A and B are shown apart, each in its own frame.
Chain A
Amino acid sequence: MRVLLVEDEVRLADNLATALRDGPGFAVDWAEDGQAGDDCACNLCYDLIVLDLMLPKLDGLSLLKRLRSRKDSTPVLILTAKDGADSIIQLLNAGADDYLAKPFDLGELIARAKALIRRGKGAAHPTLSVLGLTVNTLEQTVVRNGVFVDLSPTEYRVLEYLIHRPRVIVSKRELLEHLYDYNWEHHSNVIEVHVSNLRKKLDAVLSECGAEPDPIIETMRGRGYRLAPSLPMNADQSPEPAASSAPIPEQGQ
């Protein structure tokens, strides 16, 4: 998951970015003023925007309004030093999804950030399950057919992103955009390696417990990856609205 942090206080931004990277393992981009934040947000590659209200050049509320006026539905978490219901009502009415008053608790910030990302992707519960594969986003653990799967942080992040969008073809570019911040060198074969390792580990678990191999991640050559291609349409994990525009795979593939 990739988070845009718009905060002008350097030290606070440092701490927040570190916490978001170390804790839930998000990729974090930092913009130090409202204008830069707006420019970054235009890329539409963020799963969450953490926005300070008092910013130079363009204040947080105006940025939020711009964001929403161009139909950007990225979840926005506001950091505010202002108390008072009026300003909070104004913020939420302007399209903010949540807010935290300074000085806030870092743990609470991370929890809210996770919840917003989850909600933004249409999942209510922090534990996601598809076809015997269970991902606990709080503990960052993966279980397949009752067996624990040991994944590297990057492999886990790939799986976490994919399991939020089952049956939807996710391109390598999309994975790159959402898993790495802009300081990362964009080499698409990095993704290929990670996905290949991930698939191997997931399949290895099946063979360990003697089940038939069932490739849960399908590679669509030149198009991307697809998790749980055999998931029926009326599964628990219903596709999110954004996925409706994606090509719907044939049954039994």
Chain B
Amino acid sequence: MTIFANNRIWLLSSAIAAALAVPGVSLAATLNVMQSEAPRSMDPGDQTATYTAALLDPMYEGLIKRDPDLSLKPALATEWSSDPSGLVWTFKLRQGVKFQDGTPFDADAVVKNFNRHLDTKRGLAASGRLRTFLDSVTAVDAGTVQFKLKTKYPAFLALLTTGPCLMVSPTADAAGTIGSKAVGTGPYKLGEYKSGEYVLEVKNPDWWGGAAKGEDQIKWTWTAETSVMNMALQTGDADVINPFPSAFAQQVKANSEMKLSTTDGSAVFWVSLNTKLKPLDDVRVRQALNYATDRAGIVKAFMQGFATPANSPLAPVTPGYDKSLAPYSYDIDKAKQLLKEAGYPDGFTMSTIVQEQEARIGELLQAMWAKAGIKLDVRKMESGVWSKAAFLDPAGKEKDGIGSAIASWSSGVNGADLQFRPLYYSKSASPAGANLGFFSDPKLDELVDKAASTLDETARNAIYADAQKEVNDQAPHVLLFTKQDLFATRANVAGVWVIPGGQVVVKDAKKQ
């Protein structure tokens, strides 16, 4: 016990211990954000995951940005216009902007950024979206760039706010370090990326917009355990958690120390049916599956009510969504009747592949479809295995007997083309794209192409209405629901909002 004989040392060490023991105390104010997965890359052009996009958002900017009311506003571009054909767009760039490593932001930087996506040899993960319509980007002068589009593309401006169109420092990109060290132009810069542990973002003192409005630091952590996320919010280890596990909604709503935010989301959950595998090649069978699905029941059991049953392949927030489209009703008898017509009066057996998070949907469908005589074999797989299986070609899926896959797709508010094309366009059949069921309908392809180049909004929406009906009728998917975006914060946090699809925006958030 001689350690404690010296009182001063004992007092000092216990004071230090006490100080260390208080969680989250640091000299700067930190906003702690916890998500459900780790960031895939520090380069917004080389990944497509929503949660990584949220993490990168404070550090990067594009030519255009979205405001909390979802309108498009100038960011790194001050004004823009297009020629009468709609194929050539001219952007005036903001002056005096520097990347966080000192590289000047100018037309040359913009051109380099887009060229790395147009370069077919580079193979960046997010390039796919741009290559369908973008022809070239050229510098008119140091402060002006010109975009040439292959076809008219109404979602062009919206796309400029997303991943591949965010400006990364050409110097860092050329050095090959951008994947692990973020360098953008945003109000926050990378403070520390402890791989597997956390990402710390600190204010960028040289930001062109002056003083960033948020906290001094933003610290991003992640956990795969929903209970732990909820506990972290309760203890205050996390100020913001996203996505919020809906099971705990009542608990959080009843707790005055926390706030729950529920907004219309854009992630549509579906079961993609393998149209090349018997008997799913028969449209009546696919429709029968739709009739056998109790969407309201799934919404209640799986999302605790925080979702809208799907009546259309589009989410309600997507421009062009047709509210009046009649959904499939929950009608077991109709399902059985259709099956009988198709030649399966006693039902049949099929399989579905799911990832851990959607496994319960599989279980719910299993019980529902059994009532119509369909035996569903649910195969739960880890993400790696699931990705491989889901993107197999028809031969591969036939060999493994993969009848369907349960997943979701979100196109944010960037336009219906980004929902239709990757999922239902014939050329997007996997492994080339996310049309996991190899759906091929020339009528739909035509509608999608036509809409994509129709600049008049009313006309475009009318075409999309037809497209939605076509997808509903042909039933390549059993559409399930559109998930609401749920995130929760401590009560003293203000200024957090979410872009439909689950990308939470925290760069302007402050703790009172």
Is chain B a partner of chain A in the same complex? Answer: no
